Structure 1
Amino acid sequence: MKQPTLPFWQVWNVSFGFLGVQLGFALQNANVSRVLSDLGADLHSLSLFWLAAPIMGLLVQPIVGAASDRTWNRVGRRRPYILGGAIAAALGMLLMPNASLFVAFITPMLFGGLMLALMDGAFNVTMQPFRALVADMVPNEQRTLGYSIQALLINIGAVIGSILPFVLTNVIGLENTAPKGEVAPTVTWAFYIGASALFLTVLWTVIRTKEYAPAEYNRYKGLTAAVAPAVKPSLLKRLGDFWRLFINMPKTMRQLAIVQFFSWFSLFIMWVYTTPAITQYIWGIEAKWFDSDYLHSLETIPPEIAAAKGAAGDWVGIIFAAYSLFAALFSIVLTRIANRLGRKLTYSLSLLAGGLGYMSFILFQNADIVHVDLLITQVDVPQGALDLLIPMIGIGIAWAAILAMPYAILAGSLPADKTGVYMGIFNFTIAAPQIVSGLVAGQILKYVFHNEAIYIVMLAGIFMILGALSVYFVQDNNATSDAAPVPQGH
């Protein structure tokens, strides 16, 4: 039985919650290092706090994905997980900037780390069944439309989330400086707005989308009702089967895992250390102002230091929004370029552009103040900060390719009956390099670069270029490009 096509606005409704989820992700990526630093975290310990993100992605996505496959109740199949995850994520976003209120029970820095784990785990609880919901509800002939709407909403959410603290400072007029041990009001209110947007957009999808009943779903998908096995396999046997699939993964998947290691190692460094890097390098704030022992020895933070850290933190939102915007624009032409140049060459050149973008940070240290008209407001920033929009072009190109090209290359190498499980295994190649980066990057920053964060960004550039070179060794079994963009996440 043919699955019915959906009206445009129904396809829109199915994906609308992505807007809020990506808005939350963008706020997290651009501001969590700033929040944790304000709460007292040392530079070299930031990456350890950020380990919560990839670990949660590694643990939560496979479990929730499998659970939602087996769930059929009055609320639906995917919707219970989508709504539950959104509620938990919104709660984490509301509580994290208020960590100082819980000092009687737990140190603010540790509380902030726990809220990061809650937020990221909840984002993953929401995102995994969200992806499956789109696949469930949108028929094959509307997949292109569905993925296009999804990509649009993802990038709109990313841009809004990234610039929100900047807008609250420079358009609304909220204070962007943080008293000692607290979080700046602009960041606090940005998280409040983000939590509300996340919950309301997800609620819209949950209310406006009616999932198919099991029998109806099976007819549309050409499936027969699953018959429970007479004897459920033991956990040991299931782990053994999974391990055999893992060690016998297709050759192309192993080769892509090397590329993924280099590229996601670099991305993790960017998310964690861009704020301290440009605060030190362009705004001229010494590394000691990110040292928790030194800050604890002071009664108050000098106003000029707090103002510079606040301005730099806001500007990170602008440049992160810029790379999301450039990624969205490049995604429009990515398929055409890949069809002309080949997927491997396109992928490699894109990563090279990102690597050069990271390494070019070292060129932009001009502290001369310039007046910038951003249409929504006007602001005075160092020339070097404005110039950082240039490397964001390369980083946006790399981000667009990372979201699409590995999946395009991988799809042609997977056995049809094992595609789902291997795509789940492939998520390890996203989480594992971030975990490695989190464990070692802070130590490298402390003992090799002496907490000068600009150099850890340079290291990210080197790793991204190594990723570009390693694409050469990947075997692409199918020369055409047909991958759809996938949501951001960990």
Structure 2
Amino acid sequence: MQNSSVSGSKPSLSFWQIWNMSLGFFGIQFGFALQNTNTSRIFATLGADIDKLSILWLAAPITGLLVQPVIGYLSDNTWHPKWGRRRPFFFIGSLLASIAMFLMPNSGALWMAVFVLWLMDASINISMEPFRAFVGDKLNTSQQTGGFAMQTFFIGCGGVIASLLPTIFTNYLGVSNDAVNGTIPDTVKYSFYVGGAVYFLSVLWTVLTSTEDAPADMAKFEAERAANKGLVNAVKEILGGFFKMPKTMIQLAIVQFFTWVALFAMWVYTTPSIADGVFHATDAQSSAYQEAGNWVGIMFAMYGGVSAIAAFLLPWLAKFTSRKSVHLICLVIGGVSLMSIFAITSKEMLLLPMVGVGVAWASVLTMPYAILAGSLPSNKMGYYMGLFNFFVVIPQIVAGVVLGAILKNFFANQSVKVLMLGGACMVLAGLLTLVVQDDADKVDATSV
């Protein structure tokens, strides 16, 4: 299903054109970073038990499971002379996500926070999935790895700033970090307000500064779009894609499964692990627990910052080895780093394993998509990128269902052991990269 002749005919874009089309990911990651860093903290502050956290997080991956392939399918079958194909979804998703980010920290009850998490994640997914397809649409094979690396750079930068916001508000702006009467701290509230604004404005920049090319054969496109109308046809097409997946996509799905179990474990359980093991706090409404929440933000900022730098090194390394080799090494480094948190009792030393996690995160956001893009048909790029997200969210759903029970029944509610389990899964994912077949031309596929 290689389409090198099609993608190879696309003109090369300048650095700034790729910069503009990727900038929206800065805002998207603002949303995800605030969600990943603070959701367990918000749930715990509102009274959630530690062994219930993974179940409460299920709203996020289930939403992605439902939204991503649908949005991908719809964007493939969309064309507007002014808005193009993907940009309408960028804009609508960013508007809805910004509203949800203003609502999230004002949740007055646990059920409300879970509902808003669903709304926020659905909205972020509406924006994010078409961005992945956007690279496949716009860039030829020689620039695709660099395009995904640019996205990863902005993801890293957005993640750093968003993760640090509660600490910035606490230490430099004098905003209260206390959970007064069981309410969410003002530092978290203001962080989400800033995040909502940044999200919308960043995506708007990409919408206004980037263009999209009309289908080469508009008559054929219109005919296919007319044939695809209707709920029954849409569902048939979406489900039918499972049986037509390229071999490379199936192989990557196995790697993705264990990778995203690890990442889900990290996002859900780092805050309670660090609060208990380093700050010696289990009461989520205590000052020490909220201080731990801020420190987790600093830790996540570290891995985000490292990923932003590594994003531009990975394509260069892949040029001299292979994308598979780079992904294997990065995942093993990340997994070992995540497991090492068990032995660390100093908050400053906790930043060290985040360097390794950042290396892995950069590769997770770059290499699988770069490997996959070359094996997809150009007219279904959005759909298959959305379908590929199944192998991001299904492992999170599995993890959400089983990790709480494992924590309670096997780990005696010591959440740091879940981080160790996650690290082991990431190492396994790295080793499974050996089964992936990357058929793209080595020179073209790894050039920036």
TM range (shorter): 0.7 to 0.9
* Residues 1:352 and 2:332 aligned together: yes
Shift of residue 335, structure 1, vs aligned partner? 1.9
Q: Which residue does 2:398 correspond to in 1? A: 436
> Residues 399-431 of structure 1: CA distance to partner in whole angstroms, max 9, x if unpaired?
111122223433455567765544332221111
- The answer (yes or no) to whether the contact 2:175–2:187 under 8 Å persists in 1 is yes
> Which TM-score applies when normalising by structure 2?
0.87
**Kept in 2: contact 1:64–1:125 (CA 8 A):** yes
Q: How does 1:15-414 map to 2 (within 5 A)?
A: 15-73=22-80, 76-77=83-84, 78-100=86-108, 108-132=109-133, 149-206=150-207, 208-209=208-209, 211=211, 217-218=214-215, 221=216, 224-228=219-223, 239=235, 242-286=238-282, 289=283, 306-365=286-345, 384-411=346-373, 413-414=375-376
- Note closer, same or farther for the CA distance 1:421–1:165 as it changes in structure 2 (3 Å cut): same
**Amino acid of the structure 2 residue aligned with 1:448:** F
- How far, CA to CA, are the matches of 2:411 and 2:251 in structure 1? 31
Give, in whole Å, the separation in 2 of the partners of 1:122 and 1:252.
Answer: 29
State how far apart, in whole Å, the 2-side matches of 1:89 and 1:66 are.
Answer: 20
Please tell me whether the aligned partners of residues 259 and 426 of structure 2 are also in contact (alpha carbons under 8 angstroms): yes
Q: 1:42, CA displacement in angstroms?
A: 1.2
Q: Render the CA deviation track for 1:314-334: whole Å, top value 9, x for unaligned.
A: 011111111111112222221
The one-letter code of the counterpart of 1:209 is T
Residue pair 2:311, 2:362 contacting (<8 A) in 1 also: yes
Deviation at 1:90, TM superposition (A): 1.3
State the secondary structure of the residue aligned to 2:442: coil
| Residues 265-296 of structure 1: per-residue CA shift (max 9 Å, x gap) | 0000101110001000111124xx35xxxxxx
Contact 1:56-1:121 within 8 A present in 2 as well: yes
Which amino acid letter does the alignment assign opposite residue 327 of structure 1? Answer: S
29-38 vs 146-155, greater mean Cα deviation:
146-155
Q: What is the alpha-carbon distance in structure 2 between the residues aligned to residue 253 and residue 423 of structure 1?
A: 10
Structure 2: distance between partners of 1:237 and 1:43: 43
Residue 224 of structure 1: how far off its partner (Å): 4.9
| Greater shift in the superposed pair: 89-98 or 76-85 | 76-85
**C-alpha displacement of 1:149:** 4.8
Distance 2:386 2:20 in 1: 26
Structure 1: which amino acid aligns with 2:242? F
The one of the two structures with greater contact order (alpha-carbon pairs below 8 A, sep at least 6) is 2
1:201 counterpart letter in structure 2: S
**Structure with the greater alpha carbon radius of gyration:** 1
Shift of 1:70: 3.4
1:179 to 1:209, Cα distance in 2 relative to 1, 3 A: same
- Please identify which structure carries the higher helix content: 2
Give 1:424's match in structure 2, choosing from 381, 386, 401. 386
Distance 1:307 1:160, change over 3 A: same
Q: Percent identity?
A: 45
Q: 1:120 to 1:410 in 2, by over 3 A?
A: same
Report the AA paired with residue 397 of structure 2.
I
CA RMSD of the aligned region, Å? 3.1
Does the CA contact (< 8 Å) of 2:143 and 2:445 recur in 1?
Answer: no
TM-score by length of 1: 0.80
Q: 1:19 to 1:483 in 2, by over 3 A?
A: farther
Q: Does 1:474 align with 2:433?
A: no
* Aligned-residue offset at 1:445: 1.1
Moved more, 126-135 or 444-453: 126-135
Distance 1:236 1:395, change over 3 A: same
Q: Is the 8 A contact 2:54 2:403 kept in 1?
A: yes
Compared CA separation, residues 63 and 391, structure 1 to 2 (3 A): same
1:455 maps to 417
Residues 338 and 79 from structure 1, CA distance in 2 versus in 1: closer, same or farther, beyond 3 angstroms? closer
1:113 corresponds to which letter in structure 2? V
Q: In 2, distance between residues paired with 1:270 and 1:361?
A: 11
| Residue 445 (structure 1) aligns with | 407
Which residue is equivalent to 1:372?
Answer: none
Structure 2, unaligned stretches of length 5 or more?
1-8
TM-aligned CA deviation for residue 6 of structure 1: 7.3
- Change in Cα spacing, 1:180 to 1:418, as seen in structure 2 (3 Å) is same
| Pair 97,421 (structure 1): closer, same or farther in 2 beyond 3 Å | closer
Which ranges in structure 1 are unaligned for 5 or more consecutive residues?
A: 101-107, 291-300, 366-383, 486-490
- The letter for the 2-side match of 1:321 is A
**Separation in structure 2 between the aligned mates of residue 428 and residue 342 of structure 1, nearest angstrom:** 25
Q: Which secondary structure state, in structure 2, belongs to the residue aligned with residue 277 of structure 1?
A: helix
**1:478 Cα deviation after fit:** 4.4
Q: Residue 137 and residue 263 in structure 1: after superposition, are their counterparts in 2 closer, same or farther (change >3 A)?
A: closer
User: Alignment partner of 1:172: what SS?
Assistant: coil
Query: 1:58-99: per-residue Cα shift (whole Å, max 9, x none)?
Result: 211222232233344586234433222222111111111111
CA distance in 1, matches of 2:92, 2:200: 10
Partner-residue secondary structure (3-state), 2:107: helix
Partner Cα distance (1:477, 1:14) in 2: 27
What amino acid does structure 2 have at the position aligned with 1:390? L
Distance of aligned partners of 1:75 and 1:39 in 2 relative to their CA distance in 1, 3 Å threshold: farther
2:390 maps to amino acid: F
1:191-220 CA-partner distances (Å, limit 9, x unpaired) = 1111122123333444x33756xxx723xx
Cα distance change, pair 411–16 in 1 and its aligned pair in 2 (3 A):
closer
Asked if the contact 1:159/1:321 (under 8 Å) is kept, the reply is yes
**Structure-1 separation of matches of 2:314 and 2:10:** 30
